[in-house]
A and B are shown apart, each in its own frame.
Chain A
Amino acid sequence: MNVCKVFVPYGALGTGIPEESFESGIRMGPDVIACDAGSTDSGPYYLGTGKGKYAPDSVKEDLLRMVKAGCKLDVPVIVGSAGTCGTDSGVDALFEICAEICREEGLSAKIAKIYAQQDPAQLKAKFAAQKIKPLDAAPNIDGSVFDRCTNIVGLAGAEPFQQALREGADIIICGRATDTAIIAAMPLMKGCHEAGAWHGAKIAECGSLCTTNPSEGGVFVIFDEEGFTIEPTASDSRCTAYTVSAHMLYENSDPYHLREPSGLLDTSNAIYAELNDRRVRVTGSTFTHQPYTIKLEGSARIGYQTVTMVGIQDKRIMENPEKWLGTLKGYVIRKLNKYQFDPASYEVDFKLYGWNAVSGSIPPADYMPREVGLVMTVTADTQELATRIAKIYNPYLLHFPVNLDEQLPTFAFPFSPAETERGAIYEFMLHHVAEVAHPLELFRVEMVVV
């Protein structure tokens, strides 16, 4: 019977788990220790700049444990979506941390770097050849989008990891990959049940989120030829049929289906059986091969932002903050037009925290807040212009009265200067897949011995 035991210590590298939970996962004797180090979930800035979200100190602590344990057990360590966004800079930065760990611990290792960043020219050619297809709710694009993006990554499937494993990698540091491929790569290579490998990987990819104690510990998955068995590594946590099956809902638009590069996972007929009070066995999911596609993510710089925050408690404004704000905006817009700013070169957005900033919906008729926080965001083609526009608003955000013929109120700025420059800002541009000739077409595997 082909079996592959995977220890997933963290939902993401850099989030940490208690030492005891980690050690307990290691004592269970994994064949591989794997986790991801990123996602798009923190927004387009990270991919746009190629920077990571987690503190390098936390990343190093988590990786150190994995590397030491992998070395002790002589099993591979796999990390995917390096540096949050999975750009080449993310791979290189994580590799440097890894090399530093090896030096400090006196370890020697064969490290595979898998690069997932995409060449815009190659994608443009694919787009022209109609080999780039939109996913549901994708933005409309033309061929220029590939040059506009500062970074584009492809999500690696299992094959680049398998290539690195076949070449004898002790540690794999991969750029952007599907969360599942990182975990499923070795079970698939060892001949475990294909649907079971993808399904188990999906359940395990957020670490302990599929257990009764989502804040602590990792998960341990035993893949075999019929399915998988999962349990938590924290002693006070449990996997139940409910917690495991419910995880298919998490951050998934469809509760039963998951598209991977090589095909479609269908869990509609999966059976979740509780083996005891900690372990759940899952069988019965299916996997249908489809034309191999690589999902693309791209982020482009769209401008610069300057933000002004001001607090207001004035009771008459609290009765209808939007009315007051509407009058203020009208007043300042006339001024901006007088100064002849090109209206296409900037946008001004207002959010009233305490009123409706989070939902954007209309509050109940009798609702009156005690105070609101007004956040004004100016987005412009240059930082200088964004701040210039924000400064034109400044005296009005400080003093604009309910009626123009009365004493000027003064509102509560928390900062001096009132304007905060946010720098360049980015937006996601792609929700597309690329058709490829073979699974490694868009990825490069490099082996380095340290």
Chain B
Amino acid sequence: MTLGETAKYVRSKNAGPFWMTIDVFCDSREAYDRLKASTVLRADSIAEVYHVDTNAVKRFEVDDLMVIKASLPRPYPQGSRHERDMHSGQQYVQLLDLDI
């Protein structure tokens, strides 16, 4: 199964002009536990997808909400001359097809 098939809803957004944050929501304990155990959402995997330093990735498991959250520095500040995604709103899509 892919991450996109396992999670209920995934989103990404700027957290200020210098950070991006990704929220992966689950609607069952089973799906949440599978994603928590998967290597796909580990800090090093996230760092590889988005080309940032592993140590810069902050990862959180929000058990009450069954959410895995990862925050990382943007590759360049928001709105820089070669911006691809002003609000980082489409950056999560790269994760959806990853096999968990």
Contacts and interface: CB of A to CB of B under 8 A. Distances in A.
B90 interface: yes
B4 to A, nearest CB: 15
B60 A254 contact: yes
Contacts of B67: 246, 249, 255
Interface string A47-79: 000000000000000000000000000000000
Interface string B50-87: 00000010101010110101010110011111111111
A358 B13 CA distance: 14
A245 interface: yes
Contacts of B23: 249
A43 B69 contact: no
A40 interface: yes
Nearest to B20: A253
Nearest to B65: A246
A427 B80 contact: yes
A249 B23 CA distance: 7
B81 A43 contact: no
Interface residues of B, number: 37
Given A137-B56, A357-B84, A377-B82, A428 B21 contact: no
A253 B81 contact: no
A428 B65 contact: no
Contacts of A242: 65
A411 B91 CA distance: 30
B52 to A, nearest CB: 9
A99 to B, nearest CB: 32
B17 A428 contact: yes
B81 A254 contact: no
Interface residues of A, number: 41
B84 A251 contact: no
Contact of B78 (A43, A249, A379): A43
A135 B91 CA distance: 23
A303 interface: yes
A347 B84 CA distance: 16
Contacts of A254: 58, 60, 71
B81 A44 contact: no
B51 to A, nearest CB: 9
A354 interface: no
Nearest to B85: A358
Nearest to B16: A40
Contact of B60 (A43, A138, A255, A428): A255
Given A137-B73, A245-B64, A351-B84, A426 B58 contact: no
Interface in A251-293: 251-256
Contacts of B25: 246
Interface string B2-18: 00000000000111111
A137 B91 contact: no
Nearest to A357: B84
A428 B81 contact: no
Contact of B77 (A41, A351, A425, A427): A427
Given A40-B17, A44-B17, A137-B19, A253 B58 contact: yes
B79 A359 contact: no
A331 interface: no
B86 A42 contact: yes
B93 interface: yes
Contacts of B91: 359
Nearest to B87: A41
A139 B80 CA distance: 13
Contacts of B84: 351, 357-360
Given A361-B94, A427-B80, A253 B64 contact: no
Contacts of A256: 60
B87 to A, nearest CB: 6
Given A42-B86, A361-B94, A251 B64 contact: no
B81 A303 contact: yes
Given A43-B78, A428-B18, 13 more contacts: A42-B86, A44-B17, A138-B18, A251-B16, A255-B69, A349-B82, A357-B84, A358-B84, A358-B85, A359-B90, A360-B84, A379-B81, A431-B77
12 contacts: A137-B18, A137-B73, A138-B18, A139-B77, A246-B25, A249-B23, A253-B19, A302-B81, A305-B81, A379-B81, A428-B80, A431-B77
Interface of B: 13-19, 21, 23, 25, 49, 56, 58, 60, 62, 64-65, 67, 69, 71, 73-74, 77-87, 90-91, 93-94
The 7 A-B pairs at the shortest CB distance, nearest first, are namely A43-B79, A137-B73, A253-B71, A253-B15, A44-B79, A428-B77, A428-B17
